Amino acid sequence: MKKVGIGIIGCGNISSAYLNAMASFPVLDIRSLSDMNMAAAEARAAEFGLRAVPVEAMLADPAIEIVVNLTVPKAHVEVGLRALAAGKNTYSEKPLGISFAEAKHLADEAAARGLRIGSAPDTFLGGSHQTARNLLDTGIIGQVIGGTATFMCPGHERWHPNPAFYYEVGGGPMLDMGPYYITDMVNLLGPIEKVAGFGTRLRGERVITSEPRKGERIPVYVATHVAGAMAFANGAIVQTSMSFDVAGHRHLPLEVYGTDGTLIVPDPNRFGGQVELLKKGGEFQPVETDQPYADGNYRSLGVADMAHAIRSGRPHRANGQLALHVLEAMEAFATAAETGTTVALTTTVDRPEPLSTSIASGALAG
């Protein structure tokens, strides 16, 4: 299979994970790196034996078919539109945009140009999450009644070297961590119909405790504790909590409840982890993961699947419509909190096809 040329814009903290993982996928040919700070691009390029170029040069390179957009969230749509205007397919870090309206503009522009857009997270393609998906599809827990999706921590200022953007518009626990949890629930259960929610911002500033900005105070512009529920088209109701305000908790990341059992799904920010199954009247038992991509950090699996999809003419899984639907749901939590109403979504989406075949060898994904 002919390789697909890749250009990466944004050489910050997450770029090293992408570059390490991309080595697992022979279909990907990384042509160049870029960043608004060319020193950052040059440093990352030197680290991985690649070439750093200005954005304009990358977008003019006819060998590049997918621009991977690893910029900060507020730049995702702007950079994506530039890539589309240059005739490039684009794959963005999450979220697809910082508002549903701007992300829909990106999706509409891609459709008008006949180009593809994709978006993280791709962790739902990991082996443990695909194992959970397969179990649900067999009907082993009966009719799905509901579930929980829970992420709570004290805040990213304790570890991230430059955490201010997490507390700006486009940040916060819902837009930062919600994509992992909600995307995986859509992968498992299908589309969301309605959202109800509340949000609080009880502190107007945070103190960074990580280096190199330790002790610096940063303002908070977004809700840092969000709670509510999602009503899915299949009738399931999933309680959701996303927080940067909680010192510790004992909730599991994802739980799915059915009439005949309960399924425990591991951390959706990881590709692997322990799946557990309880059948009614029994005890929780571990389930062996029988799918690929459960044994490491394969961040860029969605890019590789998109590249194979381009070559074979099939849909890619971590696609723009999925990301747009998840973004609308996340934004609906804020709308529900502001208006005191339940918010009906305007979008729907098909569940992505299961991923049961390794694409690391270059074989087409099934």
- The residue whose two tokens read 């996303």 is 242
Question: What's the CATH fold of domain 125-287?
Answer: Dihydrodipicolinate Reductase; domain 2 (3.30.360)
Q: Do the Cβ atoms of 243 and 222 come closer than 8 Å?
A: no
Give CATH for domain 4-123+298-319.
3.40.50.720
- pTM, entire model: 0.95
For the chain, the structural domain boundaries read 4-123+298-319, 125-287
Show the tokens assigned to 343. Answer: 């918010």
Q: Print pLDDT tens along the chain (366 aa).
A: 899 999 999 999 899 999 999 999 999 999 999 999 999 999 999 999 999 999 999 999 999 999 999 999 999 999 999 999 999 999 999 999 999 999 999 999 999 999 999 999 999 999 999 999 999 999 999 999 999 999 999 999 999 999 999 999 989 999 999 999 999 999 999 999 999 999 999 999 999 999 999 999 999 999 999 999 999 999 999 999 999 999 999 999 999 999 999 999 999 999 999 999 999 999 999 999 989 999 999 999 999 999 999 999 999 999 999 999 999 999 999 999 999 999 999 999 999 999 987 775 444 343
Alpha helices in the chain (DSSP H): 15-22, 38-48, 55-60, 76-85, 100-113, 127-137, 172-189, 301-312, 320-339
CA nearest neighbour of 349 among 232, 190, 179, 225: 190
Query: What is the DSSP code string of 173-200?
Result: HHHHHHHHHHHHHHHHH--EEEEEEEEE
Query: What is the DSSP code string of 216-241?
Result: -EEE--S-SEEEEEEEETTS-EEEEE
CA nearest neighbour of 41 among 30, 28, 29, 26: 30
Strand arrangement of the beta sheet that strand 4-9 belongs to: 28-34, 4-9, 66-69, 89-92, 117-119
